[in-house]
Each structure stands twice: as C-alpha cells, then as structure tokens.
Structure 1
C-alpha cells in the first residue's frame, strides 16, 4: 500500500467560503492524479484540515458525501480508505432521474459500450471469447425470439472484460437498464442480431479495435432504431 507524507501532497488549497462540494473535488483529485490509489488510506481529518484549510464540519460533510457515493470507507480506529472499486451510486442516480428518457439512456449506453469495446480488444481473454461465442449460439438456437438473457450476457462479457475498476459501477448500472430499454423493441430480428454479434466477436478475436468499434456502433444504432420505432408504435396505439 502506498505511503506518502500527507503534507507533501499536491492538493490545491480550499477557500474557507467554498462549499463541501469543492472539498470532494480536491479529495477526488488525489485519486485521479495518481497521488493515491484505490485501497490507499487517506490523510487523517487533522491532516486534511491543515492541507485544505477547511473547518472540521465542512470536511466531514465532504467525507460523508464520498462515503454515500461509495468512493471511500471510514473504519473506526483504522482511518479512511479509498474503496478498491468505485460505487455505482452516482451513475445509478442519474439513470433513475432519466428513467423515462429512453433516448438519453440509449445514448449513454452507446458512449459507454463504444469505449468498452475498444478496451476489450486488448484485454478480453480466450475464455471470455469462448463464453461470448456460446451466447451467440444460444441466440441462434432460441425459439420465439426469446433470447434476451443471452443478449444481455453477450454485452456483459464484453463490458467486464475491460477490467476497469472505475467503470465497474457504471457498467453494473447500465446493464440493469439493458432489459428495460429492450422491452421497447416490438419486433425482434434474430438473424440480424446474430450477424451483428458474430461481427463483433470476430473483431474481438482478431484484436482489431477499429473493426470492433465499427461493428459495435452499427449494432447499437440498429438497436436504437428498433427501440425508437417501438416507442413510436406505442404512441400510435
């Protein structure tokens, strides 16, 4: 575990008139700048007060907010630590606020999955590739277009293969909404889904980031079109 002299850390001084939100940003900067890593112990309250120039009340408000967001854990007698994995609360809250805005959720999914597929070309394992292909076979063999779970596993395997602690919370939250937005698809086209998934699989197998990105983009735009068409049909009922 990394040990650093708290008083030597490069953290911008906080004006006493600012809110605890700015203290949160300063503490998060320790993580994003690499001065501290996930799992590392944070400075004590007394040290933070000296470093940031804030009152104990403001500091505790900031720490409480970070704990609620799942970013830190405070242990009695042991101190405060950055969690090994960032919690999903911030992203989940935003998704809940936008739960009726299907377009916004689809766009968030596109942005996240296009980034993940690029990372996956470098990190996905042979075992995960095998699991990925198994989901494609399951979709091919499904009856009555009942392949929602296999489709979800396909995207989940790719997302988790990125193996990124910061993104884990976002991935978990977005996958929860995967089924919800897919319920808006009125007419499913299994053959096209299989073709898209095979194209993505082959690109990942070849470790070709450009092909994988393009294949995932085409697939997600296809899904977006189907969902929006379903919404329009429901409005016309």
Structure 2
C-alpha cells in the first residue's frame, strides 16, 4: 500500500454494529493496509468512514484494547499493538479449563515446537539462566513448581518470537489451574532435574532433534503421572 492511498474500509449495518466495527478494524491489518504499530485514524475519521456513532466506535475500541489488539495513548491516538498479546489466547484456553487431556496436548504441541526453535536461537545468557535454574531446583527443599515453570518460560522466550511470548504464560497458567486439585503421583524432583539437564545439554549442543526428544520424554512422563493420578482419584 502506498503512503498516500486512502484506506479501504466498508461502512457497517446497524445490526451488531460494534462487532462489525471490530471486524473492519482488524481487516485493516489482515489486508495489510496498516501494520503492527501503525496509528489508526482518529475517532472522528473512523466514525465518518464506518458511518457509526461515537458510542458504538468506543465500544468496539474498548473491546479491541481489552484483547490487546490496540493501544490507546492519551493525546497521541490509537495504535495497533506491536506484538501479539496473550488475552485472546487466555480466553480460548479458559474454555478448556478442567479438560485435562486438551490442556496437556496444547502444552505438548506448543513446547515441542519451542524447544526446537530454542536449539537454533538460544543465547549464551539464556543458557546460563537455564543452568542456574537447574542448580536452584537441585538445592531447594521447598516446592519447586515456580522454578520448574521458569525453566520452560526461559526456553519459550529464547526464540525471540513475539507470538510465542504471548502464549507460553497462558498455557502454563491454565496447566497449573487445571491440575491444582490433583495430587500428582510419583513426583520425583531428582527425575525432573535429570530431564531438565537432558534438555539443557541438547540446547547447549544446538541439537534440535535431541532437544525435541528430551522435551517429549519430559512432558510425556508428566502426562503419564497425571493420567495415573486422575485414574486413582476416579477410583477413590
């Protein structure tokens, strides 16, 4: 799109006006008329282009802001976000809360892809953080859930990809929320530490295949423990 070309946007019908406004604004991104970080037209301009009232437009903009798609800055205007927010992903995951199989599968599919990417892109600083994280888990005598979570978060962020950054925390949060009332069987810190070490060494060697294999072994072990714990709870 050339800099001075007028934006192509449709006027909307009265039915579900706010939803139609949302669709038209998002279409500015999908059609590449505007890009992430670009400033949207003013409220007055959008009202004229869409043929809607100020309350309808503001309702739509508030929804878009809540979803992390736009940012409204006082005296500066409204801008498309520069990277994907986690709110839409949180909403989608919220619909699956309590569905253990779905939550485990989304974690498997997401993290197996991330660890392969990490093997290619992880920095020396991030490798150092992983090593320190493993050492911290080995030494603690308390609950190590948050240390475990941080290990997976470091790997996710090492890919330097704004899409994955917006997804990993909602996945881990929903995973913890789903399992908070399940007493996991056979939780062995030493086994978890060893599995984390296997993942770390694969990343250290920049070996995406071994990193994938090690992460799969780790998450599959967790899946097995969860399955046995859930079955015991059903029996009892």
Segments of 5+ residues of structure 2 without an aligned counterpart are: none
Which SS does the other structure have where 1:139 is aligned? helix
Q: Which residue of 1 aligns with 2:164?
A: 167
Q: Which residue of 1 aligns with 2:226?
A: 227
- The CA deviation at 1:218 is 2.6
Segments of 5+ residues of structure 1 without an aligned counterpart are: none
Equivalent pairs, count: 231
Looking at structure 2, the residues matched to 135 and 114 of structure 1 have their Cα atoms a distance apart, in angstroms, of 20
Which of 111, 114, 128 does residue 112 from structure 2 map onto? Answer: 114
Matches within 5 A, 1:135-146: 135-143=133-141, 146=143
Cα distance change of structure 1 residues 210 and 43 upon mapping to structure 2, 3 Å threshold: farther
Q: Which residue of 2 aligns with 1:82?
A: 80
Q: TM-score, normalising length from structure 2?
A: 0.80
Preserved contact between residue 120 and residue 162 of structure 1 (Cα < 8 Å): yes
Preserved contact between residue 133 and residue 147 of structure 2 (Cα < 8 Å): yes
1:176 aligns with 2:173: yes
Q: Map Cα deviations across residues 179-208 of structure 1 (whole Å, 9 max, x no partner).
A: 445653222133432332222212222223
Preserved contact between residue 152 and residue 179 of structure 1 (Cα < 8 Å): no
Q: TM-score, normalising length from structure 1?
A: 0.79
Q: Map Cα deviations across residues 42-67 of structure 1 (whole Å, 9 max, x no partner).
A: 1223444565x452465433222101
Q: Map Cα deviations across residues 108-161 of structure 1 (whole Å, 9 max, x no partner).
A: 2222212322332233210111111222233334458x4323211211111122
Cα distance change of structure 1 residues 106 and 198 upon mapping to structure 2, 3 Å threshold: same
Matches within 5 A, 1:117-136: 117-136=115-134
Preserved contact between residue 41 and residue 80 of structure 1 (Cα < 8 Å): yes
Cα distance change of structure 1 residues 74 and 206 upon mapping to structure 2, 3 Å threshold: same
Q: Which residue of 1 aligns with 2:144?
A: 147
Which of 49, 52, 55 does residue 55 from structure 1 map onto? Answer: 52
Looking at structure 1, the residues matched to 115 and 26 of structure 2 have their Cα atoms a distance apart, in angstroms, of 27
Cα distance change of structure 1 residues 14 and 197 upon mapping to structure 2, 3 Å threshold: farther
Q: Map Cα deviations across residues 63-91 of structure 1 (whole Å, 9 max, x no partner).
A: 22101212212234421112334432222
**Two-structure CA RMSD over aligned residues (Å):** 3.0
Preserved contact between residue 69 and residue 80 of structure 2 (Cα < 8 Å): yes
Which SS does the other structure have where 1:81 is aligned? strand
- The CA deviation at 1:30 is 3.7
